[in-house]
Amino acid sequence: MAAALLLTVIAGLATGLGGLAVFLTNRTNGSFLALSLGFSAGVMLYVSFVEILAEASDLLSAAWGPGRGTWGMVGGFFAGIAVIAVIDRLVPHQANPHEFAYQPGDAEPDAAFAAPAADSRLLRTGMLTALAIAIHNFPEGFATFASALGDPSVAIAITVAIALHNIPEGIAVAVPVFQATGSRARAVGLSFLSGLAEPLGAVIGFLLLRPFLTDALFGAVLAGVAGIMVFISLDKLLPTAEKYGGHHLCVYGVVGGMAVMAVSLAMLG
């Protein structure tokens, strides 16, 4: 149990390792921000559609049968989107990043970093991304812990693979927070905090949730997490990346993020 928990902690702290990317750039580097946010969106989209939804469908199908399980996965996915969309709409207009748009007559993107609206938008993006990743890491931590307990011989390989795909998640949190606040310590600290949800999920899952957590409930939660991550990517990360770095840099970042996630999931498999 101690070894399984240690491996879960290592995997979770890799999110903070990704946050150290803020030491490789300056606050006005719009191109780096665009690539990083696009990269992170690619990670979140790929893992949602390829891994999380597939796992949710398998769990729900095993509990309810193939037909009902598929509909349960679809319902959970769009329920997650609905929840985060409602939260987004409840945010006041002045602080809502969804309502902030770069217009052709505005200052150039790099110069816009000094604008309070841009800072507010980026900070909100980083905070929401941290929340989404923490929610994602919570059940992932329990799953990692349980896998390590079940098959110790592959525990190290699982930890390495999960740590690899946690690193770009840390970038997704830290870069917008740093660009908004100028504080590397705050950016790295928030990325580490979001990663700590993984061992926390392992501990709580083992002590409290395991007797009550059915495959159906776990599958529905995973589907909802996928919906939240897809919404964050499409509504927050990609528009911000395109605004600060242009269309092509945004797309290059997305493809790079998908490639890294594909390799890490292949290692995990």
Q: 237 with 74: CB under 8 angstroms?
A: no
| Spatial CA neighbour of 80 closest among 238, 239, 230 | 230
Token couple for 135: 């929610």
H/E element, 236: none
Is 108 annotated as contributing to ligand binding? no
The stretches of the chain forming alpha helices (DSSP H) are: 2-19, 30-46, 53-64, 66-90, 116-150, 155-181, 184-195, 197-204, 215-232, 238-268
Is 198 annotated as contributing to ligand binding? yes
Q: How far apart are CA 231 and CA 23, in angstroms?
A: 28
**163 phi/psi in degrees, rounded to 5:** -60, -40
Is 140 annotated as contributing to ligand binding? yes
Is 51 annotated as contributing to ligand binding? no
Q: Which residues are annotated as a binding site?
A: 137, 140, 165-166, 169, 198
Q: Which residues are annotated as a binding site for Zn(2+)?
A: 140, 165, 169
Q: Which residues are annotated as a binding site for Fe(2+)?
A: 137, 140, 166, 169, 198
